[in-house]
Every structure is written in C-alpha cells, then in structure tokens.
Amino acid sequence: MSLSSRQVINSALLVFLAALPFLTDWVGDSFYTGLVARILILAIAALSLNLLIGYGGMVSFGHAAYIGVGAYVVGIGAFHAFEDGIDWMLNGYVQLVAAILGSAVIALIIGAISLRTRGVYFIMITMAFSQMLYFTAVGVETYGADDGLSIYSRSDMLGLIDLNDEKSLYYLIYVSLLVVLYLMHRLVGSAFGNVIRGSKSNEARMRAIGFSPYKYRLTAFVIAGAIAGYAGFLMANLNDFVSPDVMHWTRSGDLIIMILLGGMASLFGPLYGALAFLMLEELLSSIPLTVGGLRVGEYWQLLFGPLLILVVLYARNGVDSFLPGARKGS
C-alpha cells in the first residue's frame, strides 16, 4: 500500500503527537504537553462540529455548550464526592456516560428546534440556546456561579488508567483523538454521511428524490453534541477546573475559527485548525515588542484578525489548501 504525500504528512503529525510527552521530557519543559493536550481536546470538539458545518452545512454557533455540559458533569461529580462524600459521583465511568448522554440529550432538544430554521436564523437560535446554558451556569451559586468550580479530584477510572498522571491523561486524549478521527472517517463515507453531504449540497433535490433530511441532520447534531460532551469530560480533567466561560458564545466562535483555519472540506482540517489557532495565540501573545508603552502581545487579536481575513479571502480551505493534493470545493 502506498501513501499519498498528504497521508504521509498527516501520519507524521500523528506520530509527532504520540511522541510529544517524551520530547518535552527530554527538553525538560512539560508546559508544552499541557498546551498540546488542550489543543487535542479542542481538536476533538472541532472535528465533531465539522461534521455539522463542513459536511452538513449546519453552522451551529453554540457548540461550546456541549463541551460545557461534559465538563460540568465532571465538576459537579467531583464537587458532591468532595462535599457530601457521595463516592459514586467520582466514578469516571459514571461521569463519562453522564457527560455523553447529557450532552446528547441537550443536543437532541436544541437540534430538534433549531433544525427547523435555516441560515442566519439557525446560527442565532443555536447561539441563543448555548447562551441560555451559559447563563444557567452563571446563575447556579452552588456550583460556583461565574467563579466556576475547582475540581479537587479527577475522574476515578478504577485503576484502569490514572488520570492524575499527566502522561496517562495525555495519552487518553491522544487515543480519543485517533478514535474520533477514525469515527468521522467512517461516518462521512457511510450511507448516513452521504445523506448529510447531499443535504448540504442540494436540499431541494434531496426531498425530490425521496429523502427527509431533518431526521438525518438531527442525528448528526446529536452525534456531534455527544462527542463535544466527551471533549468536555477530558477538558475538565485536564484543567481541574470548570467555569461558565467554557460555554460562552465566543468559545463556540473559536471552534468555528479553528474549522475555517484548518479547512472545512477535509477530515484532518479541524486538527490542523486547532493547532494553528492555539499556536498562533501562544506565539502572537508572546511577542516581546512594545509600541508606545503597550505590549503588542497583549493585543494579539489585532494581529490574528487580519490573518483570519487573509485565510478566508485567499485560502478557502485554510491549512488544508497548502497540503499536497488539496481538493477543490468539498
């Protein structure tokens, strides 16, 4: 079997990511393992959102809400285990199932209503729902309101894997990314994926040939929500902290920017996008230059904005368009 040069680049990236914790050990700076772990979690969420946006044409502007649901499940579980001694709430498997089911159910409700609208209305209604969840979290004093909730003990995986060990957690995240990549690959190429892509391409024709796109779209919406919920589960464990901020609409916007940066039409696009987004944030905000007494790094978004405009104008498929064998269109 011969690999295309694009596959070689993708595989090289995955190998590099697998070796990363050992590379940072060698350099003696584990900061980067944490940063990349964060990137990979966001990549998982962006991958799930890309099923909706890139393949399905459903521009959901509230995807961070499901990350929040997953993260709060871990936070709330740890809170009750710590405060009230309810040990089973710290059980990682209980938390995992609750995070995935919880975000799936909420995606089902939000999707069932939102998918009756199109275009700008869909964008606005998904954003409105996510803001409702955001303000709910801000309002609940028990769980720290807008100060958030510190997580004093990570999910207890009953000895199968120790999430307190940073390397173990990193590899759980890494393997999760591989699984989600493969899942997306199968999904997009399946009969179901065909319907999702067809509904983006030409909904009128889909109906004319006998498809009712709604139920397929709703299913995609729930799958994407559940995966984002899982990303939230990982995120809470990595940060030892959860706050309403993870659900803020600007976080949903970040995910969309990652997809734009990486390339909507490709499987790996969101991973490249998440890498580009957070690396640029890291890089631009550490520019040591000072202009008129202001440190340029603090205003990194001023530099990031124009860059994003350039990508949208000249590289429609983001990072993906620079890789060999880039496809035109989707």
Partner 1 sequence: MTTPDLLIVENLVKRYDGLLATDDLSLTVRQGELHAIIGPNGAGKTTLIKQLTGEIRSDAGRVIFAGQNLKRVSEPGRSHIGLARSFQITSLFQNFTVLENVCLAVQAHSGHSFRFWKKINNDTNLTEPALTILQHMGLEQRAHTVTSSLSHGEQRQLEIAVALATKPKLLLLDEPMAGMSKEDSETLIEHLLELKNRYTILLIEHDMDAVFSLADRISVLVYGRAIATGTPDEIRNNEDVRQAYLGEEA
Contact region with partner 1 (CB under 8 A), list: 86-94, 192-200, 231-239, 281-289 = 192-200
Separation CA 106–CA 247 (nearest Å): 13
Contact region with partner 1 (CB under 8 A), list: 133-141, 171-179, 183-191, 279-287 = 183-191
DSSP label at 245?
G
CB of 194 to partner 1, least distance (A): 5
Separation CA 319–CA 311 (nearest Å): 9
Q: Which is nearer to partner 1, 82 or 192 (CB)?
A: 192
Using rule CB under 8 A, residue 205 touches partner 1:
yes
Q: Which of residues 270-309 bind partner 1 (CB under 8 A)?
A: none
Which bin fits 156, alpha (ψ -120 to 50), beta or left (φ > 0)? beta
Contact region with partner 1 (CB under 8 A), list: 128-136, 145-153, 201-209, 312-320 = 201-209
CB of 209 to partner 1, least distance (A): 4
Question: Per DSSP, what are the bridge partners of residue 295?
Answer: 290
State which of residues 216, 233, 272, 300 lies at the interface with partner 1 (CB under 8 A): 216
Q: Which is nearer to partner 1, 70 or 213 (CB)?
A: 213
Separation CA 88–CA 95 (nearest Å): 9
Residue 290, helix vs strand vs coil: strand
CA distances from 309 to 123, 141, 257 (A): 20, 40, 11
**Count of CB atoms situated within 10 Å of the CB of 195:** 19
State which of residues 117, 136, 142, 202 lies at the interface with partner 1 (CB under 8 A): 202
Using rule CB under 8 A, residue 4 touches partner 1:
no
State which of residues 7, 91, 321, 330 lies at the interface with partner 1 (CB under 8 A): 330
Q: How many residues bind partner 1 (CB under 8 A)?
A: 26
Q: Which is nearer to partner 1, 197 or 316 (CB)?
A: 197
CA distances from 270 to 66, 142, 184, 262 (A): 17, 35, 11, 5
Q: Which is nearer to partner 1, 204 or 289 (CB)?
A: 204
Could you tell me if 242 and 74 are in contact, meaning their C-beta atoms sit under 8 angstroms apart?
Answer: yes
Using rule CB under 8 A, residue 207 touches partner 1:
yes
Separation CA 309–CA 77 (nearest Å): 42
CB of 213 to partner 1, least distance (A): 9
Contact region with partner 1 (CB under 8 A), list: 84-92, 133-141, 209-217, 236-244 = 209-217
The bridge status of strand 241-242 relative to strand 290-291 is unpaired
Q: Of 99, 101, 107, 104, nearest to 60 (Cα)?
A: 107
Contact positions vs partner 1 (CB under 8 A): 186-187, 189-195, 197-198, 201-202, 204-212, 216, 219, 329-330
